[in-house]
Amino acid sequence: MTSLCFIPLLLSLTFIIFYQPWVNALPPTPRHASPEQLEKTVRYLTQTVHPRSADNIDNLNKSAEYIKEAFISSGARVTAQDVPITGGPYKNIVANYGPADGPLIIIGAHYDSVSSYENDQLTYTPGADDNASGVAGLLELARLLQQQTPGIGVQLVAYASEEPPFFRSDEMGNAVHAASLERPVKLMIALEMIGYYAW
């Protein structure tokens, strides 16, 4: 008779040992940026489509297309916003995640790079830090947002024209984007030269 008392205990222990509901419940897989993807984007922007200054519209358009394809691959709702300035066409590339209405979080990075005259000669910078690093971060955020839909609207924006001759003017891509917004903005983060301290 006493051995029958152990049957419920044995069944309980069997359930605990073999099913372990609290142990088998796997925690969510951590989401991390991929150093390889970050480097791939920086290399593409600094080597394949270099220079990306205002006077190199073909390379800017190739950069915009690369960014657009990465955003589309992440499952975003993607639009190209015209930036109506002399020498264009320039395009902001806008990726939307989460709800289509309500407040927004905006994270942006410009994809153009600077050129300058030194000793009466036009020179181009590779634009690795300023700002291929910011674009690489933006595309990694897109990849990570693909894994989990945010509960608030998120816009990732690649801005076309930040460097001179557009700097501090209404022709900057971010100024054009800001003027077009119809939703309230909770937060804006600019990914600017984020690779500066990476080495």
What SS3 class is residue 100?
A: coil
| Average pLDDT score over residue span 122-136 | 91
* Geometric angle at alpha carbon 154, from 46 and 62, rounded to 5°: 25
The structural domains of the chain, ordered by start, are: 35-190 (3.40.630.10)
Over residues 148-181, the pLDDT tens digits come to 888 999 999 999 988 888 888 788 889 999 999 9
DSSP annotation of 173 reads H
Phi and psi at residue 190, in whole multiples of 5°? -100, 120
pLDDT at res. 10: 54
The token duo for 127 is 């634009």
Would you state the pLDDT for residue 163?
A: 86
What integer pLDDT is reported at residue 195 of this predicted model?
A: 87
Give 10-54 pLDDT, tens digit per residue. 555 545 544 555 555 555 655 788 899 999 999 999 999 999 988
How far, in Å, CA of 160 to CA of 27, rounded?
40
Q: What is the pLDDT of residue 133?
A: 95
Q: How far apart are CA 142 and CA 137, in angstroms?
A: 9
Q: What is the pLDDT of residue 15?
A: 53
Contact (Cβ atoms closer than 8 angstroms) between residue 67 and residue 135: yes
pLDDT in tens, 49-105: 999 988 899 999 999 999 999 999 999 999 999 998 877 789 999 999 999 999 999
pLDDT of residue 111: 96
Position 82 scores a pLDDT of 94
Q: Are strands 104-110 and 185-190 parallel, antiparallel or unpaired?
A: parallel
